[in-house]
Amino acid sequence: MSSSKVNRRVGLVRTGNRDLMKEINLSIVLNLIRVQGPLSRTDIARLSGLSVGAVSGLTGELLASGFIREVGAGQSRNGRHPVLLALNPQAGFVVGIKLTEQSIVAAVTDLEAAVVHWRLEPENDLQNPEKAIAAIIRTVEAALKESAVPPSRVMGLGIALAGVIDSQDAVCYYSPILGWRQVQLAQPIEDRLHLPVYVENDVNTLTMAEQWFGAGRDFPHFLMVTIGRGIGMGVVANGQFYRGSIGGAGEFGHITLQPDGPRCGCGKSGCVEALAADPAIVRMARAAVESGKQTIMTQEARRTGQLTFDHVAQAANQGDKVAQEILAEAGRWLGLGLSHLVNLFNPQLIVLSGEGTRMGDARIESARQTMQEHIFDRLDGSIDLVVKPMGEEAWARGAACMVLGELFKHPINRDHRPGLPLGVA
């Protein structure tokens, strides 16, 4: 494209849509302050390429709306001490909700994604969408009341759940754990709470949390892989979150590794999930106990009447060879799967998270080793595998981060759900 063409296009945008340009500039300034602040107005002009006059006007608006604040004086070479501007994290708050089969977790966070309050509500009727919606509304109201955040500062609600979600229309197409098909979640909740509501797959929201507020700030190419009852994945490539054509990208857990292997929850056989997730480990442990192998898990199963992933992980920690081998076997399958991801995506970083990373290090160590063995030669050495253990509130925080991400996103990239207050009326 010739340079005259480029200039003409920019000129058209400027004259044709002034409000959008202003909104874009506000967003650029706010994001510079958020990511690199505290900054002086001169710093912002230099980093953004905007004029000092334009920066003064834009920062004036952001100060008036409370999004940024003055935080004292900086240093400069000519002896002056320019006023520094920083994000005001308490200028707004968002709520994140994580739905599981039997609970709702809510987290209230500030603009820097710090959790100011969270609660876990056990619920038995979530399979019924109407009852689930009523329970979400109750939980959000209770969490906000307990957090003592003024209602006027609450900027949005994010809902995260496992399944295939159309985030644009806020519809859950299919959620196997809740048994939902075609559930419209946002509208009835928006009507009641008068907040913009965003809905997204739970692993995607964790990925966004990492992209906006975690390791992803420094890595434009990374994968988030979660292990637990299932195995999930989120993809960030070129700094952009990747959804696929209908929002179904990242079904890493259902890549077939062993076609004649164990049955998977998805109906196929030998998926990564069926070979390496927590239930696969429990299944292997039961088989070992039933076949009479020498293991302390046998006593544990007799004493408690059951065998869980935690039992296997604890037995392995105590030096039980059978438990260690089961974790290592699951880890080898996981690592084989991860090596495929590295070969496909060539990420700088894989973040491994989810409840399955709390314990059972033998699975992760063996996954790391197998992954290295199967990576294509030239990609080896450039990949970092970081383990980030997490609790229930981290899922809800991830849902909140989705709303924050939307707030800080470049205006033309925003999902067009109503009501986020930053921008030009």
Nearest residue (CB) to Zn ion, 91 versus 249:
249
Residue 266 touches Zn ion, criterion: CB under 5 A: yes
The CB-based long-range contact list for 141-146 (8 Å cut-off, 24+ gap) reads 141/193, 142/106, 143/95, 143/106, 143/107, 143/108, 143/117, 143/118, 143/119, 144/95, 144/108, 146/117, 146/119
Residue carrying the six token digits 């070969």: 343
CB of residue 266 vs Zn ion: minimum separation in angstroms?
3
Query: How big is the chain by its Cα radius of gyration, in Å?
Result: 24
In residues, how long is the chain?
A: 425
Which H or E element spans position 183?
strand 180-184
* Structure tokens that stand for 306 in this block: 């059951």
What is the DSSP pairing of strand 222-227 with strand 68-73?
A: unpaired
Q: What is the 3-state secondary structure (H, E, C) of 356-382?
A: HHCCCHHHHHHHHHHHHHHCCHHHCCC
Distances (CA, A) of 20 to 87, 290, 303, 389: 22, 66, 66, 41
* Residues 182-221, mask of contacts with Zn ion (x by CB under 5 A): ----------------------------------------
CB of residue 256 vs Zn ion: minimum separation in angstroms?
8
CB of residue 210 vs Zn ion: minimum separation in angstroms?
24
Give dist(CA 292, CA 263) in Å, integer.
24
Nearest residue (CB) to Zn ion, 134 versus 164:
164
Nearest residue (CB) to Zn ion, 147 versus 175:
175
Nearest partner of 242 among 211, 288, 282, 287, judged by Cα: 211
CB of residue 273 vs Zn ion: minimum separation in angstroms?
5
Nearest residue (CB) to Zn ion, 266 versus 296:
266
Nearest residue (CB) to Zn ion, 89 versus 228:
228
> Which range touches Zn ion (CB under 5 A), out of 64-72, 80-88, 140-148, 265-273?
265-273
> Which range touches Zn ion (CB under 5 A), out of 23-31, 171-179, 264-272, 398-406?
264-272
Nearest residue (CB) to Zn ion, 268 versus 358:
268
Residue 275 touches Zn ion, criterion: CB under 5 A: no
> Could you tell me how many residues of this chain bind Zn ion (CB under 5 A)?
5
Nearest residue (CB) to Zn ion, 172 versus 277:
277
Residue 254 touches Zn ion, criterion: CB under 5 A: yes
Binding residue for Zn ion, selected from 33, 111, 132, 264, defined by CB under 5 A: 264
Distances (CA, A) of 132 to 99, 128, 185, 362: 9, 6, 9, 38
> Which range touches Zn ion (CB under 5 A), out of 66-74, 166-174, 248-256, 297-305?
248-256
Buried b (16+ CB within 10 A) or exposed e, 143-162: bbeebebeeeebbbbbbbbb
Nearest residue (CB) to Zn ion, 214 versus 337:
337
CB of residue 267 vs Zn ion: minimum separation in angstroms?
7
CB of residue 202 vs Zn ion: minimum separation in angstroms?
17
Binding residue for Zn ion, selected from 160, 236, 271, 341, defined by CB under 5 A: 271
- State the residues that interact with Zn ion by CB under 5 A: 254, 264, 266, 268, 271
